[in-house]
Structures are given as structure tokens and as C-alpha cells.
Structure 1
Amino acid sequence: MKAFNPVAADYWLGIALVGLGDKLGVIQAYQSALIQQLLYPARGEVEKNLQRLKGKKGNGYRG
């Protein structure tokens, strides 16, 4: 899937890594999806989750 649609592959990889608890992997996959121009509404969800993962809201990550 990555060769066909790398944006979607990174987005779904991020979602899978959330379930596995791989915080660093989620950050990397989501950042890659954003760099490749992930579209809304998924983009808004990813941006919000990245803020939580990076601790900018102070609440920690909740998925």
C-alpha cells in the first residue's frame, strides 16, 4: 500500500501504532503523513493527536 498511497499508509500506520503504544512511531508516521499533505478531516485529527503526543496541551496522550 505504501508504494500506491504513501499518505494513507502513514496515516493508518500511525493509527496501528497508537494501538501498540509506540509513541515515537506514531509521531514519525503522523509527521510523515502531514508532510505529504494529508487532507481533512484526517489532517485535523492527526494534528490534534500530535499536539497531545508532544505534550503541548499538558494532558498527555489519550489516543
Structure 2
Amino acid sequence: MEKMRMESVDIVAQNVEKIGQIFPDCITEAEDESGNLQKVVDKDKLMQKFTHKIIGGHNRTL
């Protein structure tokens, strides 16, 4: 019988990896609270990919 690993899945890290697969130029590195480098999403670069397709505020219709 296989034992279960007792560690939680880092959903955020998985999402960063998925975004990096689609938009590799939107991934960079930044230091976390402990000073370790980690992959992060450059929000400004990612938003530029969707500038003409983003709505917000009062422009929404449901």
C-alpha cells in the first residue's frame, strides 16, 4: 500500500508555472520574505497581453 505524502500542494506556484508556459516573458524572479528567489508573474507585462480585451468597473454587462 502506497503512503500518502503529508504536504500541501502549492496552487499558486502551479498557476505561475502554467502562466509561464503560455507567456514565458511574463515570468520573473523576486525574493520572498526569507530572501529566497522565487518565480513570480510580472502583472504589468501580463496585463499588456490582454489590454484590448480587459473590462472592469462600470463597463461590465452580465
TM-score by length of 2: 0.38
Q: Which has the higher contact order (CA 8 A, sep 6+)?
A: 1
Higher helix residue share: 1
Higher strand residue share: 2
TM-score by length of 1: 0.37
